[in-house]
Amino acid sequence: ETEAEGEQGLLSIAFAPDYARSGLFYVDYTNLDGDSRIVEYEARDGKVDESSARQLLAVDQPYPNHNGGLVLFGPDGKLYIGFGDGGDAGDPHRNGLDLSTLLGKILRIDPRPDGDQPYTIPADNPFVDTPDARPEIYSYGLRNPWRFAFDRETEDLSIGDVGQDAQEEIDLVARGEGSGANFGWSAWEGSARFNHDQDPDDAVPPVLTALHSDGNCSITGGLTVRDPDLETLYGRYIYGDLCIGELRSFPARPDRPATDDVAIGPEARVEQLASFGESVDGTVYAISLTGPVYRLDPAR
């Protein structure tokens, strides 16, 4: 038997926008060799047809950490895929700013086949005409974009990018500004210069950094709350940290340093906070590595 390391295994599932009709969904996982796979499956009558498996993407991972792992359909109906920089520490292969590799990036593809290719490259992707760049790339300069999200009201893009030794960061850009955006790793770690052999120019600064000196260790990117029942959180970005477990929020204003960053409340804590989810009606969920899934409800 082979066991997955701490950041390996099944990482996320995305249901096609027309899932009710097509039954198609997409799985991001690492195989037994630790390499990333994006695979399409079809479900019928509530059961998965395992023989329907169709591999879209295979990415070798040089180390067992920083796999990224989120697959998410954006408001444009395209499939977005997050990959970390390949792992180890310090971006040893300098993948973050290298447009010739998919590592350290958020990708944007249409999962429908294009001839004999398993997926289609959208013609308006930012690097389709850039020599030596991978045309799948949407955003780059990321260390480990474990979780990212689109605001269901504004379509703004938010990213929780896991830091190195000193800073965790949250990036938040307005609708469409993620296309071609450079988020700085590994020239920058949060707001501090990191690898000095990397070009620091043109990097989008984070809207918030969380310091390891304050007990943070791994940012768990969240989402902008659009549940009308959560009146005091509506329009605020909610997030947390794996080690602290405290749920925090700030007003979701893209491209501006976060203000009014506060804890939601003394009871709003999730041990080993791993992810957030959002239902069709905007209900927000928080997921713990210890097992529970929590729903955020208004105080009674």
pLDDT at 300: 72
Cβ contacts of 186-194, under 8 Å, gap ≥ 24: 186/85, 186/90, 186/91, 186/94, 186/96, 186/97, 186/143, 187/97, 187/141, 188/141, 189/143, 189/163, 189/164, 189/165, 190/163, 190/166, 191/167, 192/166, 192/167, 194/90, 194/164
Which residue positions in the chain have pLDDT lower than 50?
A: 1-3
Q: What is the DSSP letter of 117?
A: B
pLDDT at 7: 81
pLDDT at 287: 96
Could you count the other beta carbons within 10 Å of the beta carbon of residue 144?
Answer: 27
Q: What is the pLDDT of residues 232-253, one digit of tens each?
A: 999 999 999 999 999 999 999 9
Tell me which H or E stretch contains 240. strand 236-241
- Phi/psi for 196 (5° steps) reads -80, -5
* Rounded-to-integer distance, Cα 223 and Cα 123, Å: 28
Q: What is the pLDDT of residues 182-230, one digit of tens each?
A: 999 999 999 999 999 999 999 999 999 999 999 999 999 999 999 999 9
